Amino acid sequence: MADELKKGDHVTWQSHGNTTEGTVERKITSDTEASGRTVRASKDEPQYEVKSDKSGRTAVHKPSALDKD
C-alpha cells in the first residue's frame, strides 16, 4: 500500500487483470472531477490521479490500489 505518494512517483496498479505502470499526477483531497468522473476524496481518505505509461490515459485510484516502485 502506498500511503504517501507525491507527484512524479512511479507506481503500478491492476487494471482489467493486468499490471499497469504509470506516474502520479496529483493527490486529490476533496470532492472533484477527474478522469471523466466525480471523485469522492478527503484529507483523511485521499485518492491519486495517475497517468498510464503505455496509453497516456489518466485514472484515479485509492492509495491501497497503488504500489510504489
pLDDT of amino acid 69? 87
pLDDT (tens place) for every residue of the chain, 69 residues total = 445 899 999 999 998 899 999 999 999 999 999 988 999 999 999 999 999 999 999 999 999 999 998
- Long-range contacts of range 17-25, CB-CB < 8 Å, 24 or more positions apart? 20/52, 20/53, 20/54, 21/52, 21/53, 21/54, 21/69, 22/50, 22/51, 22/52, 22/53, 22/59, 23/50, 23/51, 23/53, 24/48, 24/49, 24/50, 24/66, 25/49, 25/50, 25/51, 25/58
pLDDT of amino acid 1? 44
pLDDT of amino acid 3? 54
Prediction pTM value? 0.90
Residue ranges of domains in the chain: 10-64
